[in-house]
């Protein structure tokens, strides 16, 4: 085994055991206005489409969000298959019918907001 392999292995073990491999110094010292002043979630979204000529495969939508304010180093992601070549994420916001509670909000954004709230409070 070489040194580079062991360094990469150590980084992976550190992350899997809950550690952080990198931290923005400004975030650590709470010097990023609006992000470090109050609990803030950072979102990222993307839709990946099949190769040209691939007409039967779905597009894949993904949403990620930060889970560890104020450091913004841990993210949770959700992926969803959707209609072929659709750029607008269909499962971003939804309303579902709950037999006990009636209509209630759901979707990828809500799931990530609930997870963020639980991880920061």
pTM, 2 dp: 0.76
Q: What is the CATH number of the domain that holds 111?
A: 3.30.420.10
Q: How far apart are CA 47 and CA 87, in angstroms?
A: 6
Q: State how far the Cα of 88 lies from the Cα of 108, in Å rounded to an integer.
A: 13
Can you give the pLDDT at residue 27?
Answer: 67
Mean pLDDT across the chain? 89
**Confidence (pLDDT) at 17:** 81
Domain range for 13: 3-120
Please count the structural domains in the chain: 1
């Amino acid at each position: 085994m070489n040194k580079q392999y062991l360094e990469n292995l150590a980084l992976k073990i550190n992350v899997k055991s809950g550690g952080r491999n990198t931290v923005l110094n400004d975030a650590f010292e709470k010097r990023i206005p609006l992000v470090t002043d109050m609990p803030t979630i950072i979102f990222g979204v993307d839709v990946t489409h099949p190769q040209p000529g691939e007409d039967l495969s779905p597009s894949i939508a993904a949403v990620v969000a930060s889970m560890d304010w104020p450091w913004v180093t841990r993210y949770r992601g959700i992926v969803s298959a959707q209609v072929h070549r659709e750029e607008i994420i269909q499962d971003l916001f939804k309303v579902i019918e709950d037999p006990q509670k009636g209509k209630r909000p759901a979707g990828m954004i809500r799931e990530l907001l609930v997870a963020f709230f639980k991880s920061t409070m």
